[in-house]
Structure 1
Amino acid sequence: MSPWEAVAVFAAGLGAGTINTIVGSGTLITFPVLLAFGLPPVTANVSNSLGLVPGSISGAIGYRSELRGQRRRVLRFAVAALIGGLLGAFLLLALPSSAFDAVVPGLIAVALVLVVAQPRLAAAVRARRARNGTTAHRDGGIALFTGLLLASVYGGYFGAAQGIIYLSLMGVLLSDDIQRLNALKNVLAALVNGVAALFFLFVAHFDWTAVVLIAVGSALGGQIGAKIGRRLPPAALRGVIVVVGLVAIVQLLLK
């Protein structure tokens, strides 16, 4: 890898770490860069997953204030993240690289609709519960756990826009501030990337130079993303999510 290529990979890691912490989809920055510099798709995907782990951890640390009082949720959803991430990592090596291509753009589109409609959907759900005299499950129940498990499988496999999917599910099924949900999203992404990376260390080929460059860049980006993301009001954060999601859909369709 030439010095200029190394700078480009580091910059991609910085951008990915920043955008992952704010919303997600950082893989759509780093993955094409690695492909452009000649890495095979699976090697690029594995190297990318390994490199983004420090960024996910950095983003979660940056959002630590919003994690207060969510210990129960973190422990519950961590199970889904670890199981799903490990299964997704296995599928990456077992299935052809095109396995998710037809599904992912539609999945992101549905997630974006849920993110935009989340305030109205949440209000409608609360009104219905008030009429029926029922209360919400404090952790979203089995529906949210299952949804996060499936999203984590996808995250371990490829992960582009997994943060958007997490936020859409939690936004509809949990009654909480979007910034607190974003903090929880960062923890789940760190767990998925971490368990997938641990699996890849033992069974997959990767490029150590790319991994280190992305790791350093994404760790710095995680702190930048936390500083920016935590200052965004809910409406602005939803706007960023929609813009990033639409860009992700276009990029995936044109790939």
Structure 2
Amino acid sequence: MTLTHFVFLLAAGIIAGLLSTIAGLASLASYPALLMIGIPPVIANVTNTAALVFTGIGATFSSLRELKGHWVELSRILILVTIGGVIGSAVLLLAPASSFEKVVPFFIGASGVLLLASGRAPKNPDLTAATGPRAATKGQQALVILAMVFVGAYSGYFGAAAGVIMLAILAMISTERFTVINAERNVAGFASNAIATVIYAFTTHIAWLLVIPLGLGLLIGGYMGPAIVRRVPVKLLRVVIALAAFGLAIDLFIKAYF
């Protein structure tokens, strides 16, 4: 690895860390950065996953204020995404990434729609001052559980915009402030990436030398992100994140089909 590559990956990591904690789109910067310096797609994918652990560390420490009083709810989310992370990692090792890349653009585009819809959905007057999960039927609860496991699996398998999908799900089922669900999403992403990295470390090749500059940048960007979220209007964040999701969906669609 040259000094130029080190500086390039460090800068890409900072941008990716900011995108991760603010918009859940770290891979929009980090994954292409690895491809640009000549890393094969599958190795770039697992190396990117390993580096993303660092943005989770930074975001978790920076989000402790928002997470206060929400650890029980967060622990349930972590269990589900961890289970999903194990499943997704196993699938990556058994099947070619190209098979999943063809449906990824549709998942990402749908997450942008869900995020915008959750911001416009009318609130139940009885729940406007409430916190925590919305009231839900058993069927709805089962769907939420499956969705959380799926996001964990998706994150462990490929991961691009997994944070957007998680954020959209949390926004739909929770009456918490946006900063709180964004913090929960950051920690959930950390958990799924961490378990996937452990599995990859023993089953495939991770370019650890490249993880160092990329991970350092992600740590810095991940720590800075929550502070920015606290100061930016929520409605503006929803729109920006959704537009970024649509842009990434179009980009991945073109790469997968043309």
2:74 aligned with 1:92: no
Give me the whole-angstrom Cα distance separating, in 1, the residues matched to 2:25 and 2:121: 24
Cα drift, residue 182 of structure 1:
0.3
Give per-residue Cα distances to partners, 1:44-63, cap 9 Å, x unaligned.
Answer: 11111111101112112211
Taking the aligned partners of 2:234 and 2:17, their CA distance within structure 1 comes to 21
Aligned to 1:132: none
2:224 matches 1:215: no
d(CA) in 2 for partners of 1:168 and 1:14?
24
Residue 67, structure 1, aligned to residue 67, structure 2 = yes
Per-residue deviation at 1:143?
2.3
**Per the alignment, in what secondary structure is the counterpart of residue 38 of structure 2?**
coil
List per-residue Cα deviations over 1:50-97 (Å, max 9, x = no partner): 111011121122111111121111111111111101111111121112
Amino acid across the alignment from 1:19? L
> What stretches of structure 1 move > 2 A for 4+ residues in a row?
119-123, 126-129, 140-143
1:205 is paired with a residue whose SS is: coil
Whether contact under 8 Å (2:24, 2:163) holds in the other structure is: yes
Q: Contact 2:89 / 2:156 at 8 angstroms: preserved in 1?
A: yes
Structure 1 residue 218: deviation in Å?
A: 0.5
TM-score of the aligned structures, taking structure 1 as reference length: 0.91
Alignment-mate amino acid for residue 26 of structure 1: A
Shift of 1:183: 0.6
* Distance in 2 of aligned mates of 1:171 and 1:94: 33
Give the corresponding residue for 2:131.
Answer: none
Does the 8 A contact of 2:112 with 2:243 survive in 1?
A: no
Match of 1:49 in 2: 49
Corresponding position of 2:145: 145
SS of 1:206's equivalent in the other structure is coil
Task: Give the Cα separation in 2 of the matches to 1:163 and 1:230.
Answer: 18
Residue 254 of structure 1 and its aligned partner are, at CA, apart by 2.8
How far 1:120 moved relative to its partner? Answer: 3.5
Shift of 1:121: 2.9
Partner of 2:236: 236
TM-score w.r.t. the length of structure 2 is 0.90
Q: Which amino acid aligns with 2:220?
A: L
Pairwise CA RMSD of aligned residues?
A: 2.1
Note closer, same or farther for the CA distance 1:3–1:150 as it changes in structure 2 (3 Å cut): same
Q: Secondary structure at the residue paired with 1:98?
A: helix
Q: Give the superposition deviation at 1:142.
A: 2.6
Unaligned runs of 5+ in 1: 130-134
1:164 aligned residue: 164
Q: For 2:65 and 2:126, how far apart are their aligned partners in 1?
A: 32
